[in-house]
Chains A and B, each alone.
Chain A
Amino acid sequence: AQSVSQHNHHVILSEAASLELGCNYSYGGTVNLFWYVQYPGQHLQLLLKYFSGDPLVKGIKGFEAEFIKSKFSFNLRKPSVQWSDTAEYFCAVNVAFISSGGGADGLTFGKGTHLIIQP
């Protein structure tokens, strides 16, 4: 079974700082990768996802992530954070089952990174 680890549980940055949140997964085959964000008091929403093609994926709100297959990593980046980026960030993975025509079980999530941006 696949698993996801997020290295930093809590990150505190000042506005305009650059951000990189680590995500590593363990699975020997092809995976689909997602970053979700949960703003205070709101539902989980998708930031970006990768399933094939260009390993550098751009998402909403200026976020991007790079899939490095050799490192089993999918780190999230943003060049300049804002106070409004304060939130919980979750990396997630699923695996397409060839036998079910590309279907998958539910997402496997990392434990999350709580990001606080200080004004």
Chain B
Amino acid sequence: DSGVTQTPKHLITATGQRVTLRCSPRSGDLSVYWYQQSLDQGLQFLIQYYNGEERAKGNILERFSAQQFPDLHSELNLSSLELGDSALYFCASTPGWGYSTDTQYFGPGTRLTVL
């Protein structure tokens, strides 16, 4: 158990819908990263938040957005869902602001299926 929790574990929805994925970092960690894992693209970095502020952006679609709340949990919002958004979504956390040598601790993931 990494100490990072994600809910829900599984999510099934239809095209065009909007969903919210939730992540709670390890106790004391201030940074949260979101990743998408799909069969064709592999594991891709989406976005990072540090202490409530967006710090780095990766290959995140405009239909996707995230935020980090004062209690440090983070939510990833996916809207206008398409079949291709079906994937595993992971979050990870680190203690600091995102120093390059930090170990990222990963959650168990949320499996999203878009029908």
A residues in contact (CB < 8 Å) with B: 32, 34, 36, 42-46, 49, 51, 90, 92, 94-97, 102-112
* A95 CB, nearest partner CB in chain B, Å: 7
Within 8 A of A (CB), among B49-93: 55-58, 90, 92
- Chain B positions 97 through 110: 1 when the CB is less than 8 Å from some CB of chain A, otherwise 0: 11111011011110
Given A43-B4, A44-B90, A106-B58, do A51 and B43 touch, yes or no (CB 8 Å)?
no
What's the dominant secondary structure at chain B's contact region? strand
Decide yes or no: A32 and B48 within 8 Å by CB, A43-B108, A106-B56, A109-B43 being known contacts: no
- B98:A43 contact, CB within 8 angstroms: no
- List the B side residues contacting A109 at CB < 8 Å: 35, 42-44
Kindly state the separation between the CA atoms of A45 and B48 in the bound complex, as whole angstroms. 19
Contact check, B58 vs A105: say whether CB atoms are below 8 A apart. yes
* A112-B42 Cα distance, complex, nearest whole Å: 8
Q: Which residues of A contact B47 (CB under 8 A)?
A: 106
Say whether A43 contacts B45, CB under 8 Å: no
Tell me the complex Cα distance, A53–B44, Å: 28
Task: Kindly state the separation between the CA atoms of A110 and B90 in the bound complex, as whole angstroms.
Answer: 16
Flag if A106 contacts B107 (CB, 8 Å).
Answer: no
